[in-house]
Structure 1
Amino acid sequence: MGAMDTGTTVQLFPLVLLLLIVPLVACVWLNARATAAVSCATAALAMTTGIGHGVLSHGDFLVRLGGLLLGSAISVYAAHRRTTLEAALGAAREVARITQRVILRPISRNLAGTHVCTRYHSAAPESSIGGDLYDVAVTPYGLRVLVGDVRGHDLTALRLTAETLTAFRELAYTTPDLPKLATALDGRLTPELGPEDFVTAVLAEFVPGEVRLVNCGHPAPLRSGRRVELLEPLAPTTPLGLHPEPRLQRALLQPGDRLLLYTDGLTETRAPDGTPLPLLPVAARALSEPLPEEVLAHLCSSAHAHAGSHPVDDLALVLCQPTEAAVRVPMVT
């Protein structure tokens, strides 16, 4: 082999291993079959180049070709593992979304003298599972409603959502007042929460003529009557899981008035330029709709319109309206 051939050979051997970049990149984006096809084409190119330069049987070339083939095989396996894990994760998330829809069952009915209508808006299908939650219970103490938001996303948030709803369904029927109910919920949830986990929550209890509230770090409910106003808590307290000191708040609520409970997906909606959703004007327009379902649909569409191309976060809405047929629920001691 002449001097020129020797120089070409010296340059050729490193290039064979550089071809390994091709299947390595392919395994990141393609499935196993496509990665295998790319690997075969890369190996064929290397062998054709070796034949063309008369070095196919050269020891150093064969060592590098073997490294290329081994790396290609590893790339195919890596592509297979990646696509398998992605499929499993996608299936798990789909099951979680279905489970979440079952847990957050839609409601539109009269319950103990109050019409309750709910709506849950999930963020884009490819996004994470959220932790927004709501539930209602007709108890010996009146109709009770829970709206909350678990910190975090994905399966951990879904598990804590289920834990919160289970605790509420068990304790709402046996705990005589809302501050004690909030304290009991905190005691039940704290052992289940991680060091950075918590649950914001607002509890509402409806009796003729008024609503009783306990707010644990959650956005303030909106009441519409003669005007639309926020029912801010008397004193701020921490979310569930952070040992709140709940205080009872009472507000008038007559037939024809409405109470809107919601999660921070509404208050944190931002326009593309960062402008927050003007909550009170938007809520006032929505609450003027005649039907509860139209109120909630108006709120969701307003949030989408304000956000523009930005995704709207998960959002839970619960609209409560006393009816003319309200009957006092006997208190049980």
Structure 2
Amino acid sequence: MKPPAPAALSPLVVLPLAVMALVAAVDLAAGPGVGFLPMVSLGPAFASLVGGWRRTALVGVLALALCLVLGVYDGLFTERRGFTAMASVVGVTVAGLAGAVMRQRREIEFAGVRSIAEVAQRVLLRPVPGVAGHLRAAVSYTSAVAEARIGGDLYEVVATPAAVRVIIGDVQGKGLEAVETAAVVLGAFREAAYDEADLAAVGARVARTADRALRGEKFVTALLAELSPENGAAFLNYGHPPPLLMREGGVVHFPEPAQYALPLGLGLHGTDGPRPFRVDFGPGDQLLLHTDGVTEARDRAGAFYPLGERADLLKDPNPDAALEALRQDLMRHVPGPLHDDAAMLLLRYRQ
């Protein structure tokens, strides 16, 4: 596995040669008495920042040759200054070679860890089906870490003969530890969604698994849903943000339970689990399940993202395009990268 190559037009790529050319021009213009010659060593120093050890060695050889030519031109080898300048070029080149080798090793190690993490994420968060029973589905996941594709949010859509069962959750923490926790919860849900008769039994089974697996203050907020043409939508809320429900006519509200329950993993504290609650869900309706990385995203003034006010962005006939429009609007709302992962799962009643 090779580390990523620097962009061909990057200024850092040509910087070592440009610096050496500038030093040579200044040295020729100033004459032998000024002492710019040791600055030729900046060439291999900059080369080690962006190139591999071969490029650093090549620039070092060019710098040494340039130093030799300028030293002869300036008549510096009749005294120590010429040899001192060449020694500085050799020393910086050797240090640059060591730095380039260490940087390349770190890049290879990072690429390997990232590759493993991405594979784990793909296995963990499988693509949701575009069509699940009587629903159309689309998903969006934006990590809070720049260029990262792994985080602490989870989701799944399972179409069973009785209904479509869905989970979305937010694991406390980030990285591979969060992925391990998410794998426990998703594994339990995927089995229970097929095996259990109703949503309450699914939730109880997932909760038992989480309570056994999680230690200390680790927890997962989660929202479980069961949707069928006959019974609408039923929810179990384990301390998770309520979903956005948009009716066919554009009316928006956020279904909430009468009383919130503790997140998954905290059931051993002896509190009761959540009680299922049901809402109507029919043709033309759509449901947006999301994590708090969406609703808690702030703009420069500190205002939260107004999800309810932006629900009209979901009117695009294509659910993937609608969800992408909402994601882009979310990213424009924040002044920089998100502070938390943002997962969104859009479900539409298929007419």
Length-normalised TM-score, structure 2: 0.67
Counterpart in the other structure of 1:200: 221
1:187 paired to 2:211: yes
Counterpart in the other structure of 1:214: 236
1:79 paired to 2:84: no
Q: Distance in 1 between matches of 2:262 and 2:44?
A: 53
1:299 paired to 2:318: no
Corresponding residue to 1:241 among 250, 253, 265: 265
Q: Distance in 1 between matches of 2:58 and 2:181?
A: 45
On the 8 A contact 2:184/2:210 being kept in 1, the answer is: no
CA change 1:170–1:218 in 2 (3 A) is: same
Q: CA deviation at 1:215?
A: 1.9
CA change 1:239–1:73 in 2 (3 A) is: farther
CA change 1:38–1:229 in 2 (3 A) is: same
Q: CA deviation at 1:299?
A: 2.1
Identity of aligned residues (%): 30
Corresponding residue to 2:277 among 225, 246, 250: 250
User: Aligned with 1:318: secondary structure?
Assistant: strand
Equivalent AA in structure 1 for residue 236 of structure 2: V
Q: CA deviation at 1:82?
A: 0.8
Q: Distance in 2 between matches of 1:165 and 1:24?
A: 49
Corresponding residue to 1:52 among 76, 100, 115: 76
User: Aligned with 1:86: secondary structure?
Assistant: helix
On the 8 A contact 1:168/1:185 being kept in 2, the answer is: no
User: Aligned with 2:127: secondary structure?
Assistant: coil
User: Aligned with 2:214: secondary structure?
Assistant: helix
Q: CA deviation at 1:278?
A: 1.1
1:132 paired to 2:153: yes
Equivalent AA in structure 2 for residue 310 of structure 1: G
Deviations 1:188-245 (A, max 9, x none): 5415xxx675432211123433432222232211223373111233333443334474
Counterpart in the other structure of 1:7: none
Q: CA deviation at 1:322?
A: 4.8
CA change 1:116–1:189 in 2 (3 A) is: farther
Structure 1, unmatched stretches of 5+, are 1-11, 325-333
Counterpart in the other structure of 2:344: 317
Q: Distance in 2 between matches of 1:137 and 1:188?
A: 24
CA change 1:65–1:296 in 2 (3 A) is: closer
On the 8 A contact 2:128/2:157 being kept in 1, the answer is: no
Corresponding residue to 1:117 among 137, 140, 143: 137
Counterpart in the other structure of 2:252: 228
On the 8 A contact 1:198/1:241 being kept in 2, the answer is: yes
Q: CA deviation at 1:148?
A: 1.5
Q: Distance in 2 between matches of 1:20 and 1:160?
A: 51
Equivalent AA in structure 2 for residue 128 of structure 1: A
On the 8 A contact 2:145/2:337 being kept in 1, the answer is: no
Equivalent AA in structure 2 for residue 234 of structure 1: A
Counterpart in the other structure of 1:330: none
1:266 paired to 2:290: no
Corresponding residue to 2:186 among 165, 188, 208: 165
Deviates more, 1:120-129 or 1:256-265: 120-129
On the 8 A contact 1:220/1:231 being kept in 2, the answer is: yes
Q: Distance in 1 between matches of 2:89 and 2:219?
A: 51
Deviations 1:247-301 (A, max 9, x none): 1231222313332211233213333544332111112x13444554454244224
Equivalent AA in structure 2 for residue 190 of structure 1: L
Equivalent AA in structure 1 for residue 277 of structure 2: R
Q: Distance in 2 between matches of 1:148 and 1:55?
A: 73
Length-normalised TM-score, structure 1: 0.70
Q: CA deviation at 1:107?
A: 2.0
Equivalent AA in structure 1 for residue 148 of structure 2: S
On the 8 A contact 1:268/1:276 being kept in 2, the answer is: yes
Counterpart in the other structure of 2:308: 280
Structure 2, unmatched stretches of 5+, are 1-34
User: Aligned with 1:85: secondary structure?
Assistant: helix
Q: CA deviation at 1:42?
A: 5.6
On the 8 A contact 2:129/2:157 being kept in 1, the answer is: no
Q: CA deviation at 1:76?
A: 0.4
